[in-house]
């Protein structure tokens, strides 16, 4: 498992189905069959998205009998949220200080 950068996480979450899967996994651990039922997507499509999320380090897997449950890892999401909070703070600071680059 490789931890993705913030831009990788944003790119992964830009896909509507993948974002829906992440949203569902934020509430509970689910297996592929649950995600297929919830999203209406084909099993192969859901499996491909889960593989991408797993390889990026956004989900963990938990074998349970013949099923594999997926659970969202909060750390990558928290890292992206912290990055965007820093961007917002920097933007807020430049607004109050009226920082601008001189044109040449």
> Per residue in 35-62, pLDDT tens?
999 999 999 999 999 999 999 999 999 9
Report if residue 54 sits inside a domain: yes
pLDDT of residue 5: 65
User: How far, in Å, CA of 54 to CA of 60, rounded?
Assistant: 6
Report if residue 25 sits inside a domain: yes
Per mean pLDDT, which range of 54-58, 67-71, 86-90 is the poorest? Answer: 86-90
Is pTM beyond 0.85? Reply is: no
Report if residue 87 sits inside a domain: yes
Determine contact, residues 32/68, Cβ cutoff 8 Å: yes
pLDDT of residue 3: 52
> CATH number of the domain that 59 lies in?
1.10.10.10
Report if residue 1 sits inside a domain: no
Residue 55: both structure tokens together: 């390889």
Count the alpha carbons within 13 Å of 3 in the hemisphere toward its beta carbon.
9
Report if residue 102 sits inside a domain: no
Report if residue 69 sits inside a domain: yes
> Which residues have a Cβ under 8 Å from the Cβ of 35 and sit 6 or more positions away?
21, 24, 41, 46, 50, 70
- Judged against a pLDDT cut of 80, whether residue 74 lies above it is answered with yes
Determine contact, residues 62/71, Cβ cutoff 8 Å: yes
- Judged against a pLDDT cut of 90, whether residue 104 lies above it is answered with no
Strand partners, 63: 68
Structural domains of the chain, count? 1
Q: Which segments of 52-94 are extended strands (E)?
A: 59-64, 67-72
Which strand (E) or helix (H) includes residue 84? Answer: helix 74-97
Structural domain boundaries enclosing 74: 6-97
């Amino acid at each position: 498992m490789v931890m993705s950068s913030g831009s990788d996480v944003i790119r992964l979450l830009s896909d509507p189905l993948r974002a829906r899967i992440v949203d569902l996994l934020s509430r509970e651990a689910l297996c592929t069959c649950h995600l297929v039922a919830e999203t209406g997507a084909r099993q192969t499509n859901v499996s491909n998205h889960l593989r991408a999320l797993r390889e990026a380090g956004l989900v963990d897997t938990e074998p349970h009998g013949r099923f594999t449950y997926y659970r969202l890892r909060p750390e990558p999401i928290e890292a992206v949220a912290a990055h965007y909070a820093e961007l917002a703070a920097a933007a807020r600071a430049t607004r109050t200080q009226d920082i601008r680059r001189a044109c040449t």
